[in-house]
Amino acid sequence: MRIQLSEHFTYKKLIQFVLPSIIMMIFTSIYGVIDGLFVSNFVGKTAFAAINLIMPLLMGLSAIGFMIGTGGSAIVSKALGEGKRELANQYFSMLVYVSVIGGIILAVTGMFLLRPIAIMLGASGELAKLCVLYGRILLVSLTAFLLQNVFQSFFVTAEKPQLGLKITIAAGLTNIVLDYLFIAVFHWGITGAAAATAISEMIVGIFPVFYFVRRNDSLLRLVKPRLDIRALGRACSNGSSELMTNLSLSVVNSLYNLQLISIAGENGVAAYGTIMYVNFIFIAIFLGYSIGSAPIIGYHFGAGNHGELKNLLRMSLSMVGICGVVLMLLAESLAAPLAKLFVGYDAALADITCHGFRLYAVSFLITGFNIFGSAFFTALSNGIVSAAISFLRTLVFQVAVVLTLPILLGIDGIWLAVAVAEALTLIITVYFLINRRKQYRYA
């Protein structure tokens, strides 16, 4: 049964609507995880460390897709809520074509930045060579990956989250099969890992263009765009928190790697990489929920349904809290088997990874509230508050704690840094939710 944005949402209906987005984000996160798993076990920890070192740059370059997707879906869903469907399609089309142009420019620029950035991050010799090789192959598919991030939000806005899920699952399964063939069977090493991911990204990034350019039964269609600088500016402003989140994560992850190299060497980087891969899957649940619920919030905000906004906020906070407890307990219990799965060939490395992940897992209790809080204000077209939460969460607090906690706690300070940063951010998130309740009338 097709659920419309305009409906009243119960817990059951809300879960049904956001579930495809959650699964879609999980499969999206699996791309890098599968690469890391095969590379670590079939190629070695030097190649595994190379992927972890260069990945923050690649994620940073693709951040514009998250900005345009989340920020753009807010103004498109608001236009739909106001009954302006033609305008919504013009906004949608403009944002997709801007993403294509931006992706091409970023890919070309990235080709020149790869080597100097790899060296700046501490890579040398074979490690630097593998960083550049992996990065250049993935830059070929950067535009498609950027479009994937854009369409993740717009499939939900178009009331077609199930279609987005099917495409993402197909691409994820393609990535798994190709990783096995290219790495385990053909022995192409890190080249095979990059090629498998690039092909998968092209599938999930390009297919939606063909779907939306033709007549379809969704709320959106690609039409002849009209450049609207003000609308583009609003979309970028609304999505600036997601841009800030991804750029900050890239910077912070690089800082974590530098700290770990100085404290624990290559083993530290490999352990952190394993923890991040599992972390991607876990927080994908929070990200998917936020992406799936944002168009509903934006629609009812545009339609002036303040009672439904209150209902959505109450249900969302409850579900995020329950999810946080479940994920923390799951992470604590799976720490040892997951460490063995990725780096079981090295007992010392597996021990470091298991211990680090158990400390890191505390952050799952808090992270979801901050991710949803930022997305909630994005959906309300308040990019400033959303960006403030993301900026403090992903950059300011994390940089502060990762530079200070290791002085007091050694390597344990690095594993606990995220939990401390999330706790500090939660104070800010709660403040904004209370402070803006009368302005948006959601409480």
Res 6: pLDDT: 75
- Of the CA atoms within 13 Å of residue 141, those in its CB half-sphere come to 21
Predicted confidence (pLDDT) at residue 83 exceeds the cutoff of 90 = no
DSSP state of 62: T
- Give the pLDDT confidence of 117-161 residue by residue, as tens digits: 888 877 778 888 999 999 999 999 999 999 988 898 898 888 887
Instruction: Say how many Å lie between the first and final Cα of the chain, rounded.
Output: 30
Beta strands in 164-276 (DSSP E): none
Res 317: pLDDT: 94
- Please compute the mean of the pLDDT values over residues 211-227 and round it to a whole number: 89
Closest CA to 61 of 106, 12, 94: 106
- pLDDT band for position 346 (cuts 50, 70, 90): confident
Instruction: Quote the tokens at residue 197.
Output: 């991911």
Beta strands in 281-418 (DSSP E): none
- Please compute the mean of the pLDDT values over residues 248-271 and round it to a whole number: 74
